[in-house]
Structure 1
């Protein structure tokens, strides 16, 4: 719908006050008018009806967007995202469910604004799971002051939101963190002959390159020693070890191998045991 329908936007007018003034001038719809328009859209695909429905509800998006003014984001951007939610709601609204469009659209408007806030409030995401997102917005709503919560406040908020005190501390820590400038080209940032680029101080704690190389070399070394040790076994012993331990498709039983060689399962077990001893000696030497 958004590709086919041109809707009043903040960027088109270039001024937020002008946008709000024009949006509020658009007449609100009566129940009968709204039902008629939603039916024309749903059953006939009438884009003119969709446009009227959207324009008449822009004031509600503006009202909802004001509740998110404390995140340091432009209200114009919040409105634009809310408008996307409004258009999604209009396209999905069923006039037969017996509720007003605005009641149905609130969820979609807030959902788009929430996503925008979480994407842009911090460079690094503060909330990724559904429960973290819910805690993020509820915690912002329950914060009484700009400083950190004390222990008593943490316990109160945790009880009100139905989460653990550890969850509240973790989210508060994320919310209180500040983004810093990252300079990937430290040679361009010289002060008193010293490099002050942030890149020099970053550490990837999720991996250890040196340990990775060491482990890779050790794996190759042990694999090579095992291969050489297997070559020193007689053919039957080597085949038994391969069938019992090195066949990736299946692990053969003693009985199966015994049947192939025409010997008892106990004899296969003895041969396997002797071969394993020889392999251990060769690998350790």
Structure 2
């Protein structure tokens, strides 16, 4: 079939509109319609026999017959509604879920090849589920849930598997449940923990939700406390650290090469070298190395105190 053919979904009345090679069908659930009324309406569309469906699909594939395409779509609206009902647990408007499923059905009709020998319902259910799942992932969380096949599989199977284990009301999963889910779905246990905790929260909540105040001026974010260190304190600590490092570098310039090397290896290295090792390097006794280290430390300490006093970092004693 040509990729130029389109069967877009449109909300509104039940009439068919033709324009060139495209058709627009109002098979989606409109906001004004109640769910029960919608379900009653779609039951009026007759199911298709296999031969009838084949002929309609051929008419659409070969002649772009929009009437044939519409009959295939409307006869499968009950399939969309049935699949959509399986996603009611995500707290999204069921009308929107059905509408997204109808879009998937449209795509299935557009790409359906009757010569392959299987029924449209078998082919369409994959398109319907894919459209609904994309909508759920897109709408359920403000933060991206994950795009890999394994993460999507985890998102849509975690609730079911917890139900089978009778762990729906639990907080964090038990180790045995956690291991079984991770193994079955082919994901890491840490991913299961993270997804479970996010889903326990029921989705994201806006920080701008109005709460508390009668005038509606107080938002949730106004009640949140930041327990991290303030930016002012962080900046002050950073500046003080940088100033001390500058003083240290200047003070070390007063040491000779041996004193500087021993001091750095004994006081500034992440893995302090022993007195015995330095004694072997310089060919002196262990006690001599200790004396050089102590003298170097005294020189640096005095130089840093003098420089800090002169620059006003500390008060002169």
TM interval, shorter chain, is: 0.5 to 0.7
- Counterpart in the other structure of 1:18: 37
Aligned: 1:183 with 2:208: yes
1:226 aligns with none
Deviation at 1:73, TM superposition (A): 1.4
State the distance in 2 between where 1:68 and 1:142 align.
15
The 2-side partners of 1:100 and 1:65 are apart by 20
Q: Is 2:50 the counterpart of 1:31?
A: yes
Equivalent pair of 2:150/2:185 in contact (CA under 8 Å): no
Query: Which structure 2 residue ranges, 5 or more long, are not aligned?
Result: 1-6, 11-22, 211-215, 229-233, 240-317
Give the Å deviation of 1:89.
Answer: 0.2
Given that residues 153 and 185 in structure 2 are in contact (C-alpha distance below 8 angstroms), is that contact kept between their aligned partners in structure 1?
no
Q: Is the 8 A contact 2:112 2:120 kept in 1?
A: yes
Task: Provide the aligned length of Structure 1 versus Structure 2.
Answer: 205
- In 1, Cα distance between equivalents of 2:47 and 2:158: 34
Mind listing any 5+ residue stretches in structure 1 that lack a counterpart?
Answer: 204-208, 215-285
- The answer for the alignment partner of 2:175 in structure 1 is 151
Partner residue of 1:120? 139
Offset, 1:152 = 1.4
Q: Which has the higher helix share?
A: 1
Counterpart of 2:125? 106
2:27 touches 2:74 (CA, 8 Å); kept in 1? yes
Aligned match for 1:59, one of 48, 54, 78:
78
Encode CA deviations 1:119-154: one digit per residue, 9 max, x unaligned. Answer: 111222323333211111111221121322111111
CA RMSD of aligned residues (A): 3.2
For residues 221-254 of structure 1, what are the alpha-carbon distances to aligned partners after superposition, in whole Å with 9 as ceiling and x for unaligned?
A: xxxxxxxxxxxxxxxxxxxxxxxxxxxxxxxxxx
Matched residues in 1 for 2:34 and 2:209: separation? 36
Alpha carbons 2:31, 2:95 under 8 Å: kept: no
- Structure 2 counterpart of 1:136: 155
Pair 1:41–1:138, CA change in 2 (3 A): same
CA–CA separation in structure 2 for the residues paired with 1:200 and 1:50:
57
CA contact (8 A) 2:56 2:69 kept: yes
Larger radius of gyration: 2
1:113-262 alignment, distance < 5 Å: 113-144=132-163, 145-148=168-171, 149-177=173-201, 179-183=204-208, 189=217, 197=222, 201=226
Which TM-score applies when normalising by structure 1? 0.64
Q: Alpha-carbon deviations, 1:154-188, whole Å to 9, x = none?
A: 11212222323222112212222353332399xx8
Report the TM-score when normalising by structure 2.
0.58
Q: Report the counterpart of residue 94 of structure 1 in structure 2.
A: 113
Aligned counterparts of 1:183 and 1:78: Cα–Cα separation in 2: 26
TM-superposed CA distance for 1:8, in Å, is 2.8
Q: 1:17 to 1:155 in 2, by over 3 A?
A: same
Contact 2:207/2:221, CA 8 A, preserved across alignment = no
